[in-house]
């Protein structure tokens, strides 16, 4: 009996060793352990994501699935070599709280389709990112995309920078927008999952075929959020701010923030040009005075800086005449706001795209 048990144990051990050897060979031959373009532990918070949402706005309740694809962009799968224009920003670009068609990028693509301009803008927004995170994208995200060579990179900037202390030299770039999970244990497991061809394939299959758990659908009631707006506060558009604000004083009070912001703009322009693309900068508007004066200072400074450095800029903050119903929160736009913002951007954008993409 002992001899039979010993023989069975040896057979079992040999089969396990054979299985592990096969797995090892598969990983070494087909895995991404030595692949420089592998994401490793980076961007794991923003790749292969599928989240169910339900939003209530005015008289509508909308169910939709928020998706980020294998390469980290919002939307369906696509090859990086097919991408010709991306739209970079924070949560105001990502707009995970809305179906894709009701985002700024969604309305831009709708306008492009109407004009028969054969190109699609790809949403590269990452929630929580300021210009610090946008710069980090050129180090931890874009170089990992094989044959990624866009012609234009649009940067929608200012809002998050106005809220953040971007002049703080101790800010860790990978924490801006959670490019790298700060948990050391999860960094280790993320690295393994990303480099293992078996685990990566399982995650791809799950992302493709699993449609999510209805019980975990996230709900947002934007009607309730809208009621929290400070309606007792007078809404000021650009021309009204020029008349009511002490512009010189605001610029003086935000001198250090402006310097850091414009320095980051130059870095973004340099990185974009080195990638072979053309940078386009768009300043942001906001709903409340909580960040309004800081953002106002950045907006004015950006346009002046663009003129001095021959950057392509869209002065959205000046052109957008908005009301409270354009906004959810401070810098996040309602479907109406996103449509109006996209229309203004499109007027500038189409002058550069028509020659190349008009069919």
* pLDDT class of 8 with cuts at 50, 70, 90: low
User: What is the rounded average pLDDT for all residues in the chain?
Assistant: 88
Higher pLDDT, 355 or 307: 307
pLDDT score, position 234? 64
Q: What is the mean pLDDT of residues 303-313?
A: 96
Whether the CB-CB separation of 49 and 85 falls below 8 Å is answered with: no
Res. 331: pLDDT tops 90: no
Higher pLDDT, 9 or 260: 260
pLDDT score, position 231? 47
Count CB-CB contacts under 10 A for residue 298.
Answer: 29
What is the distance between the alpha carbons of residues 238 and 316, in angstroms, rounded to a whole number? 10
Short-list 197, 72, 174, CA closest to 123? 72
What is the distance between the alpha carbons of residues 132 and 117, in angstroms, rounded to a whole number? 32
What is the distance between the alpha carbons of residues 98 and 63, in angstroms, rounded to a whole number? 10
* pLDDT class of 206 with cuts at 50, 70, 90: confident
Res. 189: pLDDT tops 60: yes
Tell whether the torsion through CA atoms of 256, 257, 262 and 265 is positive or negative: positive
Question: Tokens 């010189």 identify what position?
Answer: 248
Tell whether the torsion through CA atoms of 100, 319, 176 and 325 is positive or negative: negative
* pLDDT per residue as tens digits for the range 51-67: 999 988 877 899 999 99
Res. 147: pLDDT tops 80: yes
Res. 101: pLDDT tops 90: yes
Whether the CB-CB separation of 66 and 49 falls below 8 Å is answered with: yes
Q: Where does residue 12 rank: exposed (0-12), middle (13-18), buried (19+ CB within 10 A)?
A: exposed
Res. 232: pLDDT tops 70: no
CATH architecture of residue range(s) 72-168+215-354: 3-Layer(aba) Sandwich (3.40)
Whether the CB-CB separation of 103 and 170 falls below 8 Å is answered with: no
Question: Tokens 């234009």 identify what position?
Answer: 152
Res. 276: pLDDT tops 60: yes
Percent residues over pLDDT 70 in the chain = 91
Res. 229: pLDDT tops 60: no
What is the distance between the alpha carbons of residues 138 and 140, in angstroms, rounded to a whole number? 6
Residue 353: C-alpha distances to residues 112, 153, 303, 304 (Å): 9, 13, 21, 24
Structure token digits, residue 157:
């900037």
> Which residues, 6 or more positions from 131, have their beta carbon under 8 angstroms from its beta carbon?
155, 157, 160, 161, 166, 261, 264, 265, 268
* pLDDT class of 225 with cuts at 50, 70, 90: low
Three-state secondary structure readout of the chain: CHHHHHHHHHHHHHHHHHHHHHHHHHHHHHCCCCCCCCCCCECHHHCCEEEEEEEEECCEEEEEEEEECCCCCECCCCCHHHCCEEEECCHHHHCCCCCHHHCHHHHHHHHHHHCCECCCCEECCCCCCCHHHHHHHHHHCHHHCCCCCCCEEEEEECHHHHHCCCCCCCCCHHHCCCCECCCHHHHHHHHHHHHCHHHHHHHHHHHHHCCCCHHHCEEEEHHHHHHCCCCCCCCCCHHHHHHHCCHHHHHHHCHHHHHHHHHHHHHHHHHHHHCCCEEEEEECCCCCHHHHHHHHHHHHHHHHHHHHHCCEEECHHHHCCCCHHHEECCCEECHHHHHHHHHHHHHHHHHHHHHHHEC
pLDDT score, position 249? 92
pLDDT score, position 12? 77
Whether the CB-CB separation of 183 and 117 falls below 8 Å is answered with: no
Domain locations along the chain: 1-30, 72-168+215-354
What is the distance between the alpha carbons of residues 156 and 134, in angstroms, rounded to a whole number? 10
Short-list 104, 100, 91, 256, CA closest to 176? 91
Count CB-CB contacts under 10 A for residue 231.
Answer: 10
pLDDT score, position 286? 78
């Amino acid at each position: 009996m002992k001899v039979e048990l010993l023989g069975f144990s040896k057979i079992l051990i040999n089969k396990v060793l054979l299985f592990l050897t096969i797995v090892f060979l598969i990983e070494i031959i087909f895995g991404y352990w030595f692949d420089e373009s592998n994401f490793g532990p980076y961007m794991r918070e923003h790749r292969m994501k599928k989240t169910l949402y339900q939003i209530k706005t005015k008289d509508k309740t909308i169910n939709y699935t928020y998706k980020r694809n294998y390469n980290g962009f919002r939307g369906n799968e696509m090859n990086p070599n097919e991408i010709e224009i991306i739209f970079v920003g924070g949560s105001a670009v990502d707009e995970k709280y809305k179906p894709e068609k009701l985002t700024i990028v969604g309305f831009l693509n709708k306008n492009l389709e109407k004009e028969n301009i054969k190109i699609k803008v790809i949403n590269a927004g990452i929630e929580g990112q300021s210009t610090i995170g946008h710069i980090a994208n050129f180090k931890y995200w874009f170089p990992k995309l094989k044959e990624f060579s866009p012609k234009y990179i649009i940067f929608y900037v200012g809002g998050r920078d106005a809220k953040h202390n971007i002049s703080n030299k101790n800010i860790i770039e990978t924490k801006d927008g959670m490019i790298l999970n700060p948990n050391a244990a999860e960094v280790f497991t993320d690295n393994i999952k990303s480099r293992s061809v078996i685990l990566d394939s399982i995650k791809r299959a799950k992302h493709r075929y699993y449609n999510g758990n209805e019980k975990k659908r996230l709900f947002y009631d934007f009607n309730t959020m809208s009621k929290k707006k400070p309606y007792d506060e007078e809404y000021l558009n650009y021309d009204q701010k020029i008349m009511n604000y002490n512009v010189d004083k605001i610029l003086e009070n935000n001198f250090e923030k402006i310097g850091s912001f414009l320095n980051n703009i130059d870095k973004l322009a340099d990185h974009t040009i080195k990638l072979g693309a053309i940078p386009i900068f768009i300043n942001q508007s906001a709903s409340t005075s909580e960040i309004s004066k800081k953002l106002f200072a950045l907006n004015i400074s950006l346009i002046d800086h663009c003129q001095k450095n021959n950057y392509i800029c869209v002065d959205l903050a000046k052109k957008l005449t908005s009301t409270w119903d354009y906004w959810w929160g401070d810098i996040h736009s309602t479907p109406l706001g996103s449509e109006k913002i996209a229309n203004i951007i499109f007027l500038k954008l189409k002058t550069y795209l028509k020659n190349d993409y008009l069919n």
